Amino acid sequence: MNLTDMRAIVRRDLKDEDSGNYRWTDGELDRHIAHALSELSQAVPVEAVETIATSSGSRDIDISSLSPPGRMVQAVEYPLDKFPKQYQRFSLWANILTLLGDYVPDGSNTRIYYGKGHTLDAETSTLPATLEDLLAVGAGGFACLEWASFSINRVNAGGMDTSKEFEAVGQARLDYFRKELRRLGRNNRVRLSRLYLPSEQPAHQSVVIGP
């Protein structure tokens, strides 16, 4: 799958395959595909891991080397090579991640688990095959809404209701697209919460932990 393949799928879904009379240009469809891909990446990002050196005595870690766009830090492991693995609480501001637990880094490495945006270009794609049709639905929805706006107060072969019909189709597609993204996002968060347990039991105002 690449961008050309995805564009062809979107055109097929939209019944826009007459190359001599396209309703949407390639550039317009590429923009709608990128828009849908951005939303999809927020719900189901590419899972990535990177090891970064800490600075001795500092809780701050520069994560500017992590691949943008849409970078989403999900867990921080420190110190490394422990069993069970030690995941730390953290805060994030711009490119600085700050460890909030009891550990103060000593210059050794930390491991960052994060999500990043999917890539879909002329050569390759990071999008799983199971999500390709969903991406096409979202891109088609954005395309229909764009055409609905464009066709207002214009003479249309489909009649005066053309704009409303495109708007209805586009909104239905986007409603389905975003409903599926919410479902996939919930599933992803549940899985992450099971994988990345904190290294220490969090404090709770009504629970006492101890002998």
pLDDT tens-digit profile, the chain (211 residues): 999 999 999 999 999 999 999 999 999 999 999 999 999 999 999 999 999 999 999 999 999 988 765 578 989 999 998 999 999 999 998 889 999 988 899 999 999 999 999 999 999 999 999 999 999 999 999 999 998 887 665 545 554 556 788 899 999 999 999 999 999 987 766 455 455 554 444 444 444 444 4
Handedness of CA 179, 182, 187, 190 (dihedral sign): negative
- Total-model pTM: 0.78
| pLDDT attached to residue 163 | 79
As beta bridge partners, residue 93 has: 96
| pLDDT attached to residue 186 | 76
- Spatial strand order of the sheet with 60-62 comes to 60-62, 96-99, 90-93
ω into 68 cis (within 30 of 0): no
Cβ contact 134:177 at 8 Å: yes
H helices present in 51-111, as ranges: none
| pLDDT attached to residue 208 | 44
DSSP state at residue 21: S
DSSP state at residue 121: -
| pLDDT attached to residue 104 | 93
Give the Cβ contact number of residue 205 at 10 Å. Answer: 4
